[in-house]
Structure 1
Amino acid sequence: MMIIRLFNKNPGLIINEKGIYDNSSALAVGFIPWKDIIDIKIVDINNGKIILIVLRNPIDYLNKTSHWLKFRTGKMNYNSNGTPVCLFANYLQIEATNLYSLLTEKRKEYKV
């Protein structure tokens, strides 16, 4: 399943039996296998909703980031939200609540 980004025809998010491929923004982390995902949450921040992908090994994801801006943003997200991976549905062509439902449903379906 692919969710297309606004203003870009490339998939912003790919969800399959292996995991999630996050390409939703310039700060996206890339591939996240289902086995690394502990939880998926939806939270209200600044009059909007974001999806938090809670990771088993968040520091590993921060450390494999090669760009300094990705690292700093990921670290800020980790310090404030408990995870470096935050999905902003407004960058994608889907409502946040629908994205949350889809991700939690697929996580249950593909859980190893």
Structure 2
Amino acid sequence: MKGEFAAYVGVPFFGVCGLFALYKLRDKRPLLVVDEYGIHDNSSALGVGLIRWSQINGFSRAEVNGQGMLAIHVSDPETLISAASPLKRPALRANLAMYGTPVFLSEFLLGLTSAQLLTAIKQYWRPEMSGSPK
């Protein structure tokens, strides 16, 4: 009985993961762009696209399931979540509930440490660009 349940859940889940992996292999967009407009996040299945500098309050390093992440603290998380696809919204809301922000950049996926990411980000972002830096 447990084996059947695992099959019913596991096969669709890993099928979707496989399809996403194929999609990312063919996707020519950069995983992350930092420019005068903000951070363009296409780095994961939960990438939210453009996060404008005015939406960002600050950054912190986090460990999520043993993986190093750069947390991006935003002034209005619900605006970013609402703009995401319906498939992403539950996971983004779960991130917000568990970690206080829906947006994370994975050190592993990007091949950069949080310190290296912050160095690139701080070429454009300053705390005074938002209402309340963290």
Under TM normalisation by the shorter chain, which class is it? Answer: 0.7 to 0.9
Bigger proportion of residues as helix: 2
Which residue of structure 1 aligns with residue 124 of structure 2? Answer: 106
What is the TM-score when the length of structure 1 is the normalising length? 0.80
- The list of structure 1 runs, each at least 4 consecutive aligned residues, that deviate by more than 6 angstroms after superposition, is 5-8
State the distance in 2 between where 1:60 and 1:84 align.
11
State the distance in 1 between where 2:81 and 2:39 align.
17
Which residue of structure 2 aligns with residue 49 of structure 1? Answer: 68
Report which stretch shifted further, 5-14 or 82-91.
Answer: 5-14
Count of matched residue positions in the alignment of Structure 1 and Structure 2: 107
Residues 69 and 104 of structure 2 are in contact (CA less than 8 Å); yes or no, is this contact kept in structure 1? yes
Identity between Structure 1 and Structure 2 (%): 29
* Gap runs ≥5 in structure 1: none
Residue 107 of structure 1: CA displacement?
Answer: 1.2
Residues 67 and 107 of structure 2 are in contact (CA less than 8 Å); yes or no, is this contact kept in structure 1? no
* Gap runs ≥5 in structure 2: 1-23
State the distance in 1 between where 2:50 and 2:63 align.
25
RMSD: 2.6
Residues 77 and 83 of structure 1 are in contact (CA less than 8 Å); yes or no, is this contact kept in structure 2? yes
- Aligned residue type for 2:119: S
Which residue of structure 2 aligns with residue 28 of structure 1? Answer: 47
